[in-house]
């Protein structure tokens, strides 16, 4: 089996997945996604777009999401470096509304994080990092929204708070209270 673990986090819709790496004298082989294993573990999504980003140490990307009908689920992993990855529940009526989960992902461990639709997503690069994420719907600029990364109402304990590098767009994100959302629980 290419996946050793499907672990539900404190917000049970967000799933940490441990893949199996097959090592030999050449290096290793690892599967990132296998539809049958994901369906068997109640992660019933297929992917339509694959993204990769390079982020320098200190970069924060997010917190991003897309409104319905272009809402995205994301499967995130790190190819190089180390990040903290964050998912914030933005589904009105959810018992976890406004709560977050945070996981460290790195090239040293074969971990993937499944973030379903209805969550804002972001990460901080703890070192120069290459992040790969598969998404369930294509990027749609007209549906894209964001929430301020350091909103005190969310209380996300980002490990690096000084000298954070943000895009111009992320500098203008609204607070959680002011962010537009069209997600209800259950989705």
Tell me if residue 143 is catalytic.
no
Strands 100-106 and 82-89: antiparallel
- Dist CA 77 CA 132 (whole Å): 5
Q: Among this protein's residues, is 133 annotated catalytic?
A: yes
CA distance 52 to 62: 15
- Annotated catalytic residue, options 64, 65, 100, 121: 64
Among 33, 45, 65, 133, the active-site one is: 133
Q: Identify whether the C-beta of residue 59 lies closer than 8 Å to the C-beta of residue 125.
A: yes
Q: List Cα–Cα distances, 70 to 52, 85, 140, 145, 164, in angstroms.
A: 19, 22, 7, 11, 29
Residue listed under structure tokens 């703890």: 126
Task: Please list the active-site residues.
Answer: 64, 133
């Amino acid at each position: 089996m290419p996946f050793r673990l499907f672990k539900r986090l404190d917000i049970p819709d967000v799933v940490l997945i441990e893949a199996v790496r097959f090592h030999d004298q050449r290096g290793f082989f690892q599967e990132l996604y296998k539809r049958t294993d994901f369906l068997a573990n109640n992660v019933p999504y297929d992917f339509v777009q694959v993204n990769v980003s390079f982020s320098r140490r200190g970069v924060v990307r997010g917190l991003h999401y897309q409104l319905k009908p272009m809402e995205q689920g994301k499967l995130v992993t790190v190819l190089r470096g180390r990040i903290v990855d964050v998912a914030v529940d933005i589904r009105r009526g959810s018992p976890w509304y406004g709560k977050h989960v945070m996981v460290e992902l790195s090239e040293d461990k074969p971990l993937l994080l499944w973030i379903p639709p209805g969550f804002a997503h972001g990460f901080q690069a703890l070192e120069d990092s290459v992040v790969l994420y598969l998404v369930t719907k294509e990027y749609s600029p007209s549906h894209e929204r964001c929430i301020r990364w350091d909103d005190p109402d969310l209380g996300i304990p980002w490990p690096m708070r000084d000298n954070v590098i943000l895009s111009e767009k992320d500098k203008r994100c609204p607070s959680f209270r002011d962010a537009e959302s069209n997600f209800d629980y259950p989705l």
